[in-house]
């Protein structure tokens, strides 16, 4: 429609709008090369979706600096609501997952700490459903991405569902939930080209991290071997946040939740993880399913760190800060019960995909702290399920139903399953005898812990949250030398994929605050110098009118130099249960050599697969038929924990001449795995690149006596890996 010459109202409105943005270009100049509805934020102020300018996008609105987050915070709710609904239908985060059913049983009553019945009744088994997941990738991505792993447990208790929704790392990247959309937007594939998938090694992620010093501790965990676990069954779980226990007398204690795997905490090598992603992207999913299917049920012990309320401020860090952990040397982990996963889902979609966890699913005796990340998650989870599962009745999906009856006045909505009888759906009512009625605390009714709050409404963060480097330093110093080397390699790999040099430099500056030796090693690999200072770039996230000096990182030296629990080198190494061992063999194999070692490994709980040049059967030297599980064409060393070569002149000769067999061994050695060979098979070892390196290597076992060889081989498999094979590098602690 043509504009009338005397119609100046629109022009005046445009002029008024331009005056709001000092120095902004006229709208017609800024958008002349853009398609309709395209937004360019260059030089503009941040606003809400109603156009309201935002002063502080980094802190949620709280009752005091350490107080609860307020429902009034419309900016937090708008930002997270939009984020929660950005992916349809798969989860925005934790899209790639695997689940299993099981049971939990408490060892001793925890009545002095909590009135939660499932933690008090030692004779009862509480049904559970667990979902493990990666965070960043889509539903179709690989299991072996370098990533945080979700570890969510639902307890179907007699008081309702309790969901412990955590990760395999005890801390997180950010301190306030209002920053979560920014973190995930940064780590997801870049929006212009949707690259890379399930990977943090790109510019936008490290740009965000380099400007967010509070992420320093979590980055140490994410760049460590914890981010590439050997199996879901061999990783720890953590509640991340500080929660509360409340006992029958109303006394409150702070609590951190831990899951300790009975198989120990083990990882794969980074090169191995990348190879597994190509060979079997379902590696973790298949591993969990096969273990349960074979009766090798995964087990974890539930641990708690309990801090009396009066000791809340006795630490060098803030209990409400989700980027901090409580070192086990300061507060030991009490192991209070055991979880066993003993049944695979009947239908992946109906159970694993439709399960809807929520931190707000709690029972009497468990309550929240004012951790600002936790407070935001309490809103976000229900909001997300409304879109992902089609409406407010997602709790009626079978996997989400509690084992106790549900009665309330909620009605109708998409996919309603319950057929509610009666005339009344409101309270109070007289027509229906006021049913369902409220339950008193003595009748099991939930009552919120009456924490005293007396503070002004404020968007700010407590200064007790400003120490960003002491626990990152503690974590790095606690690692073994191989683990430190792996962190250097991971950072060098990730930052090496970053194209923007200034982002690399900012990260090196942050790393230097953790450990100068670490920063120097990464800088050398990147060919970049560590900057001496950064002209206040790290203070980009402060409120627009705040004093930057009020938001500077606080340098704290931890009184604890190392924590044994933080190094995977100190994990359990006393079992080969469910470990997969490959036996390389061909026609003419010595059946006695093969069966003796096979029997010893299976007796110890290991799983054997015979790998040969072809499928079907091979014929032993004694003319016996031995079934082949995989061919060398379809198998790969990265899918096994160890490898054995039995004797037999013809078998040994065939393997020595087979390039795939030699590569299988070379790769196993490179990834520091146990290798065993009958003395007659030594010539196969001599065909590898590592034949001159095996002297003194406890992980390479060669022998003539099958029983003795099997005993030494089993002992080697228990140790998981022999990382000393890697090139020695000194990283100053």
Determine the length of the chain: 733
H/E stretch holding 492:
helix 481-496
Exposed/middle/buried for 429, CB within 10 Å: 0-12, 13-18, 19+? middle
Kindly state the DSSP code that residue 411 receives in the 8-state scheme: -
pLDDT tens-digit readout, 257-291: 999 999 999 999 999 999 999 999 999 999 999 99
- Specify if 57 maps to a domain: no
Structure tokens belonging to residue 561 = 């130099």
Strand partners, 332: none
The answer, yes or no, to whether residue 29 has pLDDT greater than 70, is: no
The answer, yes or no, to whether residue 558 has pLDDT greater than 90, is: no
Q: Determine the pLDDT at residue 536.
A: 59
Q: Determine the pLDDT at residue 434.
A: 85
Residue 19 banded pLDDT, cuts 50, 70, 90: very low
- Specify if 701 maps to a domain: yes
Q: What is the pTM of this model?
A: 0.89
Q: Determine the pLDDT at residue 557.
A: 79
Q: Determine the pLDDT at residue 519.
A: 97
In order of 49, 173, 440, 551, 673, the CA distances from 471 in angstroms are: 38, 13, 43, 19, 31
Q: Determine the pLDDT at residue 416.
A: 87
Structure tokens belonging to residue 235 = 């990783």
Average pLDDT, the chain: 91
Contact 118, 158 (CB under 8 A): yes
The single residue of 94, 358, 486, 720 carrying the catalytic annotation is 94
Span of 356-370, 407-421, 459-473, 692-706 with lowest mean pLDDT: 407-421
The answer, yes or no, to whether residue 80 has pLDDT greater than 70, is: yes
The single residue of 59, 120, 167, 168 carrying the catalytic annotation is 167
Nearby residues of 609 by Cβ (< 8 Å), 6 or more positions away: 580, 581, 582, 583, 629, 630, 635, 640
Higher pLDDT, 85 or 554: 554
Nearby residues of 425 by Cβ (< 8 Å), 6 or more positions away: 409, 411
Q: Average pLDDT of 305-322?
A: 97
Euclidean distance between CA atoms 448 and 489, whole angstroms = 47
Pick the closest to residue 558 from 570, 566, 550 (CA basis). Answer: 566
Residue 33 banded pLDDT, cuts 50, 70, 90: low
Span of 154-168, 448-462, 630-644, 665-679 with lowest mean pLDDT: 448-462
H/E stretch holding 339:
strand 334-343
The answer, yes or no, to whether residue 23 has pLDDT greater than 60, is: no
Pick the closest to residue 373 from 218, 509, 224 (CA basis). Answer: 218
Residue 34 banded pLDDT, cuts 50, 70, 90: low
Pick the closest to residue 668 from 597, 585, 568, 582 (CA basis). Answer: 582
Q: Average pLDDT of 136-146?
A: 96
- Specify if 327 maps to a domain: no
Residue 247 φ/ψ, nearest 5 degrees: -90, 180
Euclidean distance between CA atoms 596 and 647, whole angstroms = 12
Q: Determine the pLDDT at residue 11.
A: 40
Euclidean distance between CA atoms 201 and 194, whole angstroms = 13
Residue 454 banded pLDDT, cuts 50, 70, 90: confident
Neighbour count for residue 346 (Cβ, 10 Å): 8
Q: Determine the pLDDT at residue 21.
A: 40
Look at residue 47 and give its three-state secondary structure: strand
The answer, yes or no, to whether residue 116 has pLDDT greater than 80, is: yes
Pick the closest to residue 94 from 143, 56, 154, 60 (CA basis). Answer: 143
Share of the chain above pLDDT 90, in %: 76
The answer, yes or no, to whether residue 664 has pLDDT greater than 80, is: yes
Q: Determine the pLDDT at residue 541.
A: 65
- Specify if 668 maps to a domain: yes
Residue 593 banded pLDDT, cuts 50, 70, 90: very high
Q: Determine the pLDDT at residue 28.
A: 42
Contact 611, 585 (CB under 8 A): yes
Residue 9 banded pLDDT, cuts 50, 70, 90: very low
The answer, yes or no, to whether residue 546 has pLDDT greater than 90, is: no
Q: Average pLDDT of 246-266?
A: 97
Give per-residue burial for 200-236: e unless 16+ CB within 10 Å, then b: bebebbbbbbbbbbbbbbbbbbbbbbbbbbbbbbbbb
Strand partners, 259: 237, 302
Q: Determine the pLDDT at residue 40.
A: 77
Q: Average pLDDT of 429-433?
A: 91
Contact 133, 97 (CB under 8 A): yes
- Specify if 613 maps to a domain: yes
Contact 671, 269 (CB under 8 A): yes
Contact 688, 645 (CB under 8 A): no
Residue 551 banded pLDDT, cuts 50, 70, 90: low
Residue 57 banded pLDDT, cuts 50, 70, 90: confident
Radius of gyration of the chain (CA): 29
Residue 55 banded pLDDT, cuts 50, 70, 90: confident
Pick the closest to residue 57 from 180, 204, 241, 186 (CA basis). Answer: 180
Contact 297, 342 (CB under 8 A): yes
Euclidean distance between CA atoms 270 and 247, whole angstroms = 45
Residue 580 φ/ψ, nearest 5 degrees: -100, 125
Pick the closest to residue 55 from 75, 81, 25 (CA basis). Answer: 75
The answer, yes or no, to whether residue 325 has pLDDT greater than 50, is: yes
Side-chain half-sphere of 570: how many Cα atoms within 13 Å?
Answer: 9
Contact 99, 116 (CB under 8 A): no
- Specify if 582 maps to a domain: yes
167 is catalytic: yes
Euclidean distance between CA atoms 464 and 58, whole angstroms = 16
pLDDT tens-digit readout, 339-350: 999 999 999 999
Span of 19-23, 481-485, 511-515, 664-668 with lowest mean pLDDT: 19-23
The answer, yes or no, to whether residue 17 has pLDDT greater than 70, is: no
Structure tokens belonging to residue 256 = 């951190």
Q: Determine the pLDDT at residue 3.
A: 40
- Specify if 620 maps to a domain: yes
- Specify if 681 maps to a domain: yes
Pick the closest to residue 68 from 337, 374, 364 (CA basis). Answer: 374
Span of 172-181, 528-537, 559-568 with lowest mean pLDDT: 528-537
Q: Average pLDDT of 464-486?
A: 96
Residue 84 banded pLDDT, cuts 50, 70, 90: confident
Euclidean distance between CA atoms 463 and 454, whole angstroms = 18
Span of 403-412, 474-483, 583-592, 630-639 with lowest mean pLDDT: 403-412
Structure tokens belonging to residue 109 = 């009553």
The answer, yes or no, to whether residue 386 has pLDDT greater than 60, is: yes
Side-chain half-sphere of 463: how many Cα atoms within 13 Å?
Answer: 8
Span of 41-50, 164-173, 676-685 with lowest mean pLDDT: 41-50
How many domains, the chain?
Answer: 1
Q: Determine the pLDDT at residue 36.
A: 58
Q: Determine the pLDDT at residue 555.
A: 82
Euclidean distance between CA atoms 424 and 430, whole angstroms = 9
Parallel/antiparallel/unpaired status of strands 457-459 and 252-261 = unpaired
Neighbour count for residue 139 (Cβ, 10 Å): 14
Q: Determine the pLDDT at residue 537.
A: 62
Kindly state the DSSP code that residue 353 receives in the 8-state scheme: I
Largest CA distance in the chain: 105
Structure tokens belonging to residue 565 = 């629990």
In order of 4, 90, 219, 282, 305, the CA distances from 96 in angstroms are: 57, 9, 21, 10, 30
Residue 92 banded pLDDT, cuts 50, 70, 90: confident
The answer, yes or no, to whether residue 612 has pLDDT greater than 70, is: yes
Contacts 24+ apart (CB under 8 A), 377-380: 377/165, 377/177, 379/76, 379/77, 379/80, 379/177, 380/80, 380/83, 380/84, 380/177, 380/180
Share of the chain above pLDDT 70, in %: 92
Pick the closest to residue 164 from 251, 262, 265, 241 (CA basis). Answer: 241
The answer, yes or no, to whether residue 15 has pLDDT greater than 80, is: no
Residue 495 φ/ψ, nearest 5 degrees: -70, -25
Euclidean distance between CA atoms 577 and 263, whole angstroms = 8
Q: Is the peptide bond before 196 cis (omega within 30 degrees of 0)?
A: yes
Q: Determine the pLDDT at residue 544.
A: 73
Residue 12 banded pLDDT, cuts 50, 70, 90: very low
Euclidean distance between CA atoms 151 and 187, whole angstroms = 20
- 3-state SS of 694-730 is CCCCCCEEEECCHHHHHHHHHHHHHCCCCHHHCCCCC
In order of 97, 164, 248, 251, 555, the CA distances from 444 in angstroms are: 34, 20, 11, 17, 46
In order of 199, 449, 686, the CA distances from 62 in angstroms are: 34, 18, 67
Residue 535 banded pLDDT, cuts 50, 70, 90: low
Contact 264, 573 (CB under 8 A): yes
Residue 88 banded pLDDT, cuts 50, 70, 90: low
CATH classification at residue 663: 3.40.50.880
- 3-state SS of 438-451 is CCCHHHCCCCCCCC
Q: Determine the pLDDT at residue 7.
A: 41
Domain that holds residue 644: 573-725
Q: Average pLDDT of 706-714?
A: 95
Higher pLDDT, 44 or 632: 632
């Amino acid at each position: 429609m043509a504009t009338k010459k005397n119609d100046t109202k629109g022009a005046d409105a445009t002029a008024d709008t331009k005056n709001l943005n000092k120095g902004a270009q006229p709208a017609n100049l800024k958008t002349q090369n853009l398609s309709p509805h395209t937004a360019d934020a260059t030089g503009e102020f941040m606003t809400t979706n109603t156009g309201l300018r935002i002063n502080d996008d980094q802190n949620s609105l709280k009752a005091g600096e350490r107080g609860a987050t307020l429902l009034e915070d419309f900016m937090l709710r708008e930002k997270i609501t939009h984020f929660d609904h950005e992916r349809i239908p798969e989860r925005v985060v934790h899209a790639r997952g695997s689940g299993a059913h099981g049971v939990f049983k408490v060892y001793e009553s925890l009545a002095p700490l909590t009135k939660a019945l499932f933690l008090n009744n030692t004779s009862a088994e509480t049904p559970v459903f667990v979902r493990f997941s990666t965070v960043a990738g889509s539903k179709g991505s690989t299991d072996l991405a370098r990533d945080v792993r979700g570890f969510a447990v639902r307890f179907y208790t007699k008081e309702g569902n309790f969901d412990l929704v955590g990760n395999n790392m005890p801390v997180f990247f950010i301190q306030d939930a209002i920053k979560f959309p920014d973190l995930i937007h940064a780590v997801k594939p870049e929006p212009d080209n949707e690259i890379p998938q399930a990977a943090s090694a790109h510019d936008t992620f490290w740009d965000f991290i380099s400007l967010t010093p509070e992420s320093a501790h979590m980055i140490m965990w994410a760049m460590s071997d914890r981010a590439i676990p050997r199996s879901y069954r061999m990783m720890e779980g953590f509640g991340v946040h500080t929660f509360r226990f409340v006992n029958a007398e109303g006394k409150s204690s702070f609590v951190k939740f831990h899951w300790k795997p009975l198989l120990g905490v083990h990882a794969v090598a980074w090169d191995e993880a990348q190879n597994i992603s190509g060979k079997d992207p379902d590696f973790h999913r298949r591993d969990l399913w096969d273990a349960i299917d074979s009766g090798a049920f995964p087990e974890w012990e539930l641990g708690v760190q309990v801090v009396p309320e009066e000791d809340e401020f006795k630490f060098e860090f803030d209990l409400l800060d989700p980027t901090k952990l409580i070192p086990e040397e300061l507060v030991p982990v009490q192991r209070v019960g055991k979880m066993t996963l003993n049944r695979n889902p009947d239908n992946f979609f109906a159970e694993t995909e439709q399960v809807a966890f929520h931190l707000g699913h709690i029972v009497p005796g468990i309550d929240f702290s004012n951790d600002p990340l936790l407070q935001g998650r309490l809103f976000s989870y229900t909001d997300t399920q409304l879109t992902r599962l089609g409406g407010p009745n997602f709790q009626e999906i079978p996997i989400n139903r509690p084992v106790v009856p549900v009665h309330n006045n909620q009605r109708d909505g998409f996919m309603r399953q319950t057929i509610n009888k009666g005339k009344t759906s409101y309270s109070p009512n007289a027509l229906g005898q006021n049913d369902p009625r409220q339950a008193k605390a003595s009748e099991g009714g939930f009552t919120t812990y009456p924490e005293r709050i007396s503070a002004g409404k404020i968007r700010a963060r407590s200064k007790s949250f400003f120490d960003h480097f002491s626990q990152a330093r503690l974590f790095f110093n606690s690692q073994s030398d191989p683990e430190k080397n792996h962190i250097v390699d991971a950072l060098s790999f990730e930052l090496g994929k970053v194209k923007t040099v200034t982002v690399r430099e900012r990260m090196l500056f942050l790393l230097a605050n953790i450990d100068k030796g670490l920063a120097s090693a990464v800088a050398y690999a990147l060919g970049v110098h560590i900057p001496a200072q950064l002209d206040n770039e790290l203070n980009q996230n402060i409120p627009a009118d705040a004093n930057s000096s009020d938001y500077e990182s606080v340098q704290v030296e931890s009184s604890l130099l190392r924590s044994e629990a933080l190094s995977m080198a100190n994990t359990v190494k006393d079992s080969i249960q469910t470990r997969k061992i490959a036996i390389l063999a061909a026609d003419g194999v010595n059946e006695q050599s093969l069966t003796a070692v096979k029997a010893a490994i299976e007796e110890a709980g290991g799983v054997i697969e015979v790998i040969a040049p072809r499928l079907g059967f091979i014929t032993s030297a004694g003319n016996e038929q031995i079934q082949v599980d995989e061919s060398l064409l379809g198998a790969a060393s990265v899918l096994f924990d160890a490898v054995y070569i039995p004797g037999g002149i013809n078998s040994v000769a065939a393997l020595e001449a087979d390039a795939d067999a030699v590569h299988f061994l070379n790769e196993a050695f490179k990834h520091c795995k146990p290798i065993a060979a009958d003395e007659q098979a030594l010539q196969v070892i001599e065909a590898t690149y590592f034949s001159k390196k095996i002297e003194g290597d406890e992980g390479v076992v060669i022998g003539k006596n099958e029983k003795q060889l099997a005993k030494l081989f089993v002992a080697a498999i228990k140790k998981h890996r022999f990382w000393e094979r890697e090139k020695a590098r000194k990283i100053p602690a």
